[in-house]
Amino acid sequence: MFEETIGKRSKRCINVVERGAVKKFAEAIGDPHPIYVDRDYGRASRYKNNIAPPTFPRIFDYGTIEGLRLPEAGLIHGSQDFEYNRPLIVGEEIVCFSKVENYYEKSGTSGTLGFLVIKNFGEDSGDNVIFTSTTVIIITEAVRKGLKT
Amino acid sequence: MKIAEYQIGHTLPSVQLPPVSRMDLIKYSGASGDFNPIHTIDAEAEKAGLPGIIAHGMWTMGNLSKLFTSYHEEGFIKTFTIRFSGMVFLEDVITLKAELKEKVNESSLFSVTAENGQGQAVIKGNVSFHLYQD
List the pLDDT tens digit at each of the 149 positions of chain A.
799 999 999 999 999 999 999 999 999 999 999 999 999 999 999 999 999 999 999 999 999 999 999 887 788 999 999 999 999 999 999 999 999 999 999 998 878 999 999 999 999 999 999 999 999 999 988 888 877 65
How far apart are the C-alpha atoms of B49 and A57, rounded to whole Å?
30
Residues in B touching A73 (Cβ below 8 Å): 36, 38, 48
Residues in A touching B72 (Cβ below 8 Å): 33, 35, 45-47, 51, 87
Is residue A80 assigned to a domain?
yes
Beta bridge partners, A120, equal A98, A133
Question: Which has the closest alpha carbon to A77: B61, B109, B91?
Answer: B61
B3-131: what CATH class?
A: alpha beta
The domain that holds A89 is classified in CATH as 3.10.129.10
ipTM above 0.85, yes or no: yes
Is residue A50 assigned to a domain?
no
Give domain limits for chain B. Answer: 3-131
Q: Residue A134, class by beta-carbon neighbours within 10 Å (0-12 exposed, 13-18 middle, 19+ buried)?
A: middle
pLDDT digits (tens, 9 = 90+) for B35-55: 999 999 999 999 989 999 999
* Closest residue of chain A to B86, computed from CA coordinates: A78
pLDDT value at residue B34: 94
What is the distance in angstroms between the Cα of B11 and the nearest Cα belonging to chain A?
A: 19
Is residue A36 assigned to a domain?
no
* Overall number of domains in chain A: 1
Q: Beta B121-131 vs B95-104: how paired, if at all?
A: unpaired
Residues ≥6 apart with Cβ < 8 Å to B33 = A58, A59
Question: pLDDT band at B28, cuts 50/70/90?
Answer: very high
Do the chains contact at A25 and B62, CB–CB below 8 Å? yes
Is residue A25 assigned to a domain?
no
pLDDT digits (tens, 9 = 90+) for B60-95: 999 999 999 999 999 999 999 999 999 999 999 999
Range of the domain at A125: 3-17+61-148
